[in-house]
Structure formats: structure tokens, C-alpha cells
Structure 1
Amino acid sequence: MIKEVLQDAESHMKKTVDVFKRELSSLRTGRASVTIFDNIRVDYFGSEMPLNQLATLSSPDATLVVISPFDAGTITLIEKAIQSSDLGLNPNNDGKIIRVPIPPLTEERRKTLGKKIQEYEEQSKIAIRNIRRDARDQSKELLKEKMISEDDEHKCEDEIQKLTDKYVDIITEISKKKQTDIMEV
């Protein structure tokens, strides 16, 4: 019983870390990366389509991303979607492909991104703590139903806290690394 509670909690905590990593990968650092376009949706015939389903994206060097649409008719739609995103990028299209130069980050933009990272970090830590609360509730419920002893319940709570500390530390480390990446000039 306790094992299932712990496995369930750890599984949810891992998913929270994965979501946190995905959110951070969509933030623009000073280097060109196709992952910054992961959250861009293009209005394609009335439905929102992910950009990577309408074009191939590549990064030939550290300051440029090249987008090659599968259908030339979508080029202006893709360009508009990039311009209206909050990435602060200006795409150039030559009729066949879109070149997106990645300018160096300004000091102001770095600070804004730093705050965004802290926001994502705090949201993830809150999610981890909520998972901890749910797992503790489950262990207390098992004790109440006399499916486990008080000693087992205390051991379970200790293990849940260890898991919580472990995953909060992982999130903090990832956040620090991303902050360092962004602050590099």
C-alpha cells in the first residue's frame, strides 16, 4: 500500500519536472534553438496548428533559425504567428523559406526572462508540494482505515518528504542553469 502511494507521488513529481523543462525550453536564450517555436500555433484554415506540423525548422548557426513550410501558401500565416508571439523576433521570408535571425538578448529582456523562469519555478514547486499533500492524505487515509500502522504511516511521510525535497532541488538546479544561460552575454 505504502509503496503504491510513494510510486504514484514520484511519478507525478517526475511529470511536473518534465513540464517545467518543457516550459523553460520555450524561453529564448541568446542562442538559436528550434525549441523556442514549440508553443507557436498557426491559424491554418480556421484551426490552430503547431508550427512544427506545417514546416521543418532548422538552426544552421547560433544566430539563425530557418523555417521551410511544407506548403508555400502558409508562409505568410507562419510569419504572422511568429510576429504576434511574445518572442520578440522579426522573421524574413523570401517566398520559399522564412529566416528568423535571433538577436542577442537585451539586459531588460534578460531580466524579464529571469522573472519568467522564477515564476515557472515557483509554479512547479507548488505543484510538487500539492503532490506531497495528496500523498500524505492518502497515507493518513490508509492509517484511518487501519490498512497500515502508525509507524508505517510515519515512515511513509518521511519518504514523501524525501521525494519532495529531491524534486524541489531538481527544479531549483534546472532553474539556476537556465538563469545562468540567459545571463551569459
Structure 2
Amino acid sequence: MQNAVDATKRAFNTIRTGRANTSLLDKIMVDYYGSPTPLKSLANISTPDASTLMIQPFDPSSLSAIEKSISMSDIGLVPNNDGKLIRLNIPPLTSERRQEFVKVASKYAEEGRVSVRNVRRDGIDLFRKQEKDSEISEDESRDLQESVQSLTDKYVAQIDEALKAKEKDIMTV
């Protein structure tokens, strides 16, 4: 369940908030000599100011592949290539775009909640099977199921808190 919460928080980090953040590029894969490679392992990514991302490839010959991957991605940023570096200017978000990002964050949160519930279902199924096979008593099974439910509630609440924080971050101008 904790893994589902962590994955949801990582997904939230990939949503633009109007400020430059290197985690925006976490999902970018570059076709480097025929194999998909994470951008982070091909270049140094930095934020020289609040509205710019700067990408400096370790191998200058990979510059065009990196530029192409960023252009093809769904982050909605246009790369500026000066021959040595790629700069990404983060434009200020409009209110409509902010609303779209809030919807995307809500979708990620729901996916996280579903993952937590799937873990709960697997646990409860295991306890019922053990009860059926007479490995544990009915009372033990019920107690274990209740503890799994309380854990589920705790982790879903963590996802909801992270969603509220991300929505606040997105809507802050």
C-alpha cells in the first residue's frame, strides 16, 4: 500500500505547476542508440531560474535525440537547442490549464486509491482462504480483515492529503 502511495506522489511530481521542476522530465525516455533510456541518465538537468529548465547532455551527439523526445512527449514544452544545451521555458499557466492539471492529478489519485484497494482485496482473499482451509479461526480472520481495512483507510487518506496539497500547488498563481 505504501508503494501505491509513493507511486501516486511520483506521478503528481510530473504535473506542471507553473514553476520549473526537474521531476517534470522524469517520464521522458530518449531513443539513445536504439534503446529507450531515461533522460536523467543521459543529461544533467537543472533549474537556473523559476521558469526555465536546462538540459546539458553528457554526450553532445545525443542532443538531437533528447530534443526530439521532449517534443514528442506530452509535457507540452518546446525545447530550445543552442548546440550545447537545451532550454525549456515554462510558460505561466492559464486558469483553464490549471483546471486540466487538477483533473489529471485527480485521475492519478484515483489510480493510487485503486491500487491500495487491490492490495486490500488480495489480503482479504488470503485471510478467507486461510479460514476456509482451517488455518485460522473465523474470529482471527474477521480481526485481520478489519486491520487490513483500517490500513486501507489510512493509505487512502494519505493519497487524499497529497492530492489536496498538489491541487493547492497547481492553483497557486
TM-score after normalising by structure 2: 0.96
Q: CA deviation at 1:98?
A: 1.1
Structure 1 segments unaligned to the other structure (5+ residues): 1-12
Structure 2 segments unaligned to the other structure (5+ residues): none
Partner residue of 1:178 out of 151, 163, 166: 166
Partner residue of 2:8 out of 17, 20, 26: 20
Quote the Cα distance in structure 2 between the aligned partners of 1:133 and 1:47.
Answer: 37
Secondary structure of the residue aligned to 1:42 is strand
Q: CA deviation at 1:108?
A: 2.1
Quote the Cα distance in structure 1 between the aligned partners of 2:167 and 2:112.
Answer: 16
Q: CA deviation at 1:143?
A: 1.1
Q: CA deviation at 1:119?
A: 0.8
Secondary structure of the residue aligned to 1:39 is coil
Q: Cα RMSD (Å) of the superposition?
A: 1.1
Render the CA deviation track for 1:12-60: whole Å, top value 9, x for unaligned. x011111111111111111101110010011122221111111100112
Secondary structure of the residue aligned to 1:120 is helix
Identity rate, percent: 47
Secondary structure of the residue aligned to 2:159 is helix
Q: Matched residue pairs, number?
A: 173
Q: Give every structure 1 segment of 4 or more consecutive aligned residues whose post-TM-superposition deviation is greater than 6 Å.
A: none
Q: CA deviation at 1:100?
A: 1.1
Aligned to 1:140: 128
Quote the Cα distance in structure 2 between the aligned partners of 1:42 and 1:157.
Answer: 45
Quote the Cα distance in structure 2 between the aligned partners of 1:99 and 1:149.
Answer: 63
